[in-house]
Amino acid sequence: MAEVKPGKKTRTRTRARLLPTGVADSVGMILALCALTAIFGLKAKHFFELKTFQTIANQIPDAVVISVGVTFVLIIGGIDLSVGSVLALCSAVMGAVLLRTEMPLPVAVLACVITGLACGSINGLLISGLKLPAFIVTLGMMEIARGATYMITGSRTAYIGSRVEVIAEQSLFGLSLPFLTALAVASAGQFALSRTVFGRHALAVGANEQAARYSGIGARKVKWMVYALCGALSGVAAVINCARLGSADPNAGTGFELQAIAAVVIGGTSLMGGRGSVVGTFLGVCIIAVLGAGLAQIGAQESTKRFITGCVIIAAVILDYYRRRLRASSGAA
Amino acid sequence: MLKFRSSKPVLVCIAVICASVAGCKKRDPAAPSAAQPASKPTIALVMKSLANEFFLTMENGARDHQKLHAAEYDLIANGIKDEQDVSRQVALVEQMIAQRVDAIVIAPADSKALVPVCKRAMDDGIAVVNIDNKFDSGALAEKKAKIPFVGPDNRKGARLAGEYLAKKLKAGDPVAIIEGAPNAFNGIQRKLGFEDAMNAAGMKIVTSQTGYWEMDKANQVASSILTEHPQLKAILCANDSMALGAAAALRAAGRQDSVIVVGFDNISAVQQLMKEGKVLCTVDQHADKLAVFGIEYALEMLKTRAAPEDRETQVDLITPDTLK
């Protein structure tokens, strides 16, 4: 907010526009998060402890980074089903670079992110250039990336060990490097969305592509950039995933795409495009992670876990719907 | 102009499809039996997920065996995309029946759902051998089918690993189990084997949850279990991928020295961890030979036409000492 020009009128207008996508929308989710934490705190013996939250903070960074990418894709009214497979491909590339060549870690990380960027760019080119449906293109990429992963790894889990684990071991102020990366990506994402031309254009393209194009926005370029960004973020998430597990798993990220979409939608981003919040996405990931950790800690049956997770996803979306209607009616008055 | 624009992607697609088909052709030596002399049987190997290292090893073992015995039989090997894709596997068996193969060696994705289609194959005079994941005896009885099972005793293997672990612990120590997919027979057998050993040694199993055979899921479940049970002494995992995930969770929690991890399958990645002392032991059921045992058994059946009996294959405990 610091860089808003002085003058009362501008400031209030900016705040009115900024807050809804940022903090105000998140109140409901924060309450839901607190409620979940309270319930598990009562049910499990050791849930309400620092250790639990450290564990969760250790688990979510890759999901956060990917979900930020998916948030932008949903905002422009698209979809990306390939993120999980691209993550696996990127970690396979990283494993291959580290294990088969004597290249240092930064080179491997770079190769990993570039692989993601390349996959995302191909998606973007096909979708924006040839006007192919995003669902089919990314479905195809999902299969291609998974197949390429199996080719590179020979379907074998590659154990990398301490060479990649150092990434997860770095920390600052008690927060691990992956978690800080995730926070940085989420903050940058929210900033880009609400404060930059790119973000404005993405929202405009998602709301009404034709109108955006008539008003002089390069809709194709915006779409291409968003898919490329999403791919690159899958690459970043792959680095984090590799560092956490100490290995490159060819089956990594299976089902990640749906989990990410669920987190993004819980966070209040519209599946139809044109509206979204990265802060909301971050909280959405937290809700799913707290739920997963809590249910595992109380040792719930698998059937119960799935049932409850489904219910929470739907409840979160219902809540979001009513809150939005409430605000829309009060805003109109 | 419009016509040209729309034909471009089509051309690209055709080129891509041609290239990919050409690239794949040599991987699939699916020769129809009609082209071969009548004396040489065709055996179809129907596998589970070829994405899993374990099944890939199994398939490669079978392919190598076929190359050595090319005069004796032809092999058609097929797998499904993921381990849960039951309907695709049923379709594969149907295709093999239509191909008029002489025998089918199958690692069923589901121990019940594949019984009817295998029974149909038998009615067509095809010899069927069951490997890896044993058919449910109730489902077999209901269909009046007798399909021989050639494979390891997973329960026994898991018990071996559990007994080895028990020597490192003392009675009453809390332990946790990370199970395979809940509907898999071999996963259930491994869990039972772990339980046999732990109960016999007087350990306390504080929780048993599924990791769906996957590293990342097991990592998340193990992390939560570690937080909830600060006294935990060991985690027994129904496969090695999940053991890798559990070992990563220990590292993140800084408890490598107080908690022991046990795996199953003896994949190459876990051997490295065993040498580093991060995993205690695993179980080898000789994946490379499993399909071969099934194929040899099918060849025997085709020759003798004898009433099929189950045959148990070897399972071995692998510790850092046996690796040296």
What digits encode the pLDDT tens for the residues B308-322?
788 888 899 999 988
Residue B301 has pLDDT above 60, yes or no: yes
Secondary structure letter of residue B283 according to DSSP = E
- Identify the three-state secondary structure at position B237: strand
Instruction: Judge whether A248 lies within some domain.
Output: yes
- Which domains are seen in chain B, by residue range? 39-147+287-313 (3.40.50.2300), 154-284 (3.40.50.2300)
Q: Which two tokens stand for residue A198?
A: 């790119």
The rounded distance, in Å, linking the Cα atoms of A242 and A227 is 23
Closest residue in chain B to residue A289, using alpha carbons only: B220
Do A247 and B269 lie within an 8 Å CB cutoff?
Answer: yes
Nearest-angstrom CA–CA distance, B323 and B126 = 41
The reported pLDDT for the residue numbered B29 is 41
Q: Does a structural domain hold residue A215?
A: yes
pLDDT at A238: 96
Kindly list the distances between the CA atom of residue A249 and the CA atoms of B125, B235, B242, in Å, as whole numbers in the listed order: 41, 20, 11
Give the residue among A155, A156, A161 at the shortest CA–CA distance from B279: A161
Spatial neighbors of B29 by CB under 8 A, at least 6 apart, are B74, B75, B76
Structure tokens at A252: 């990594």
Q: Residue B19 above 60 pLDDT?
A: no
- What mean pLDDT is predicted for residues B90-109? 90
Q: Which residue has the tokens 């929690």?
A: B253
Domains identified in chain A, total number:
1
Q: Distance between CA B169 and CA B202 in Å, rounded?
A: 10
Which 225-244 residues of chain A touch chain B by CB within 8 A? 241, 244
**Closest to B158 (Cα-Cα) out of B80, B237, B213:** B237
Alpha carbon distances (Å) from B209 to A46, A314, B176, B246, B260: 18, 25, 8, 12, 17
What pLDDT does B157 receive? 94
- Report helix, strand or coil for A23: coil
| C-alpha distance from residue B60 to each of A152, B57, B103, B214, B297 (Å) | 17, 5, 19, 22, 18
Residues paired with B208 in a beta bridge: B177
> Which residue range(s) make up the domain with A292?
26-35+47-321
Six-digit token string for B5: 């624009």
Instruction: Read off the CATH number of the domain in which A141 is found.
Output: 1.10.3470
Nearest-neighbour CA in chain A from B309: distance (Å): 33
Distance from C-alpha of B222 to C-alpha of B209, rounded to nearest angstrom: 9
Q: How far is A156 from chain B (nearest CA, A)?
A: 5
- One-letter amino acid of A236: V
Q: Would you state the structure tokens that stand for residue A239, as one six-digit string?
A: 């680095």
Residue A283: inside a domain, yes or no?
A: yes
Phi, psi (degrees; rounded to nearest 5) at B211: -115, 10
- A327: in domain: no
Q: What local confidence, expressed as pLDDT, does residue B181 receive?
A: 83
A273 within 8 A of A23, measured Cβ to Cβ: no
Residues lower than pLDDT 70 in chain A? 1-25, 327, 330-333
Report the percent of chain B where pLDDT is more than 90. 47
Residues forming beta bridges with residue B261, ordered by sequence position: B235
Confirm if B227 and A49 have CB atoms less than 8 A apart: yes
Instruction: Measure in Å the smallest separation between the Cα of A8 and chain B Cα atoms.
Output: 49
pLDDT of A4 reads 41
Chain B residue with CA closest to A158: the answer is B269
Contact B225, B252 (CB under 8 A): no
CA distance B198 to B152: 21
Helices A256-266 and A278-297, axial angle in degrees (round to 10)? 120
In A, which residues are within 8 Å of B239 by CB distance? none
Q: Could you tell me if residue A156 is inside a domain?
A: yes
- pLDDT on residue A8: 43
Q: Which of A55, A59, A155 sits opposite B56 (nearest CB)?
A: A155
Greater model confidence, B246 or A2: B246
A236 vs A119: CA distance, rounded Å: 13
Least confident segment among A24-38, B101-115, B203-217: A24-38
Chain A residues with CB-CB distance to B270 below 8 A: 159
Q: Å from B134 to nearest chain A CA?
A: 23
- Chain A residues whose CB is inside 8 A of the B267 CB are 156-157
Hey, which residues does B46 pair with through a beta bridge? Answer: B78, B106
Structural domain contains residue A220 = yes
> Is residue A73 assigned to a domain?
yes
Q: In terms of Cα–Cα distance, which of A260, A249, A153 is closest to B215?
A: A249
CB B77 within 8 A of CB B47: yes
**Does B270 contact A at CB distance below 8 Å?**
yes
A37 touches chain B (CB under 8 A): no
Q: B209: which chain A residues are within 8 Å (Cβ-Cβ)?
A: 296, 299, 302
Interface contact A251-B251, CB threshold 8 A:
no
User: Is A167 a member of any domain?
Assistant: yes
Q: Which of A68, A66, A70 is closest to A78 using CA atoms?
A: A70
DSSP H helices, A158-301, are 162-169, 177-195, 197-207, 209-214, 219-245, 256-266, 278-297
A16 Cβ neighbours under 8 A, 6+ residues apart: none
* A309-to-A73, A123, A275, A302, B209 alpha-carbon distances in Å: 24, 31, 25, 11, 16
What are the Cα distances from residue A257, in Å, to A121, A134, A252?
18, 14, 12
The answer to whether B51 and B82 are in contact (CB under 8 A) is yes
Q: Any CB–CB contact under 8 A between B276 and chain A? A: yes
Per the DSSP assignment, residues forming a β-bridge with A248 are A158
Per residue in B261-284, pLDDT (tens digit) is 999 988 888 998 999 899 999 999
Q: Determine contact, residues B181/B211, Cβ cutoff 8 Å.
A: no
Q: How many CB pairs under 8 A join A and B?
A: 120
What percent of chain B is modeled with pLDDT above 70? Answer: 87
Chain B (153-192) residues lying within 8 Å, Cβ to Cβ, of chain A: 182
A198 touching B, CB under 8 A?
A: no
Give residue-wise pLDDT tens across range B37-96: 457 899 999 988 767 778 888 888 999 999 999 989 999 888 887 766 788 888 889 989
Q: Give the contacts of B195 (CB within 8 A, at least 6 positions apart).
A: B177, B205, B208
pLDDT band at B224 (very low <50, low <70, confident <90, very high): very high
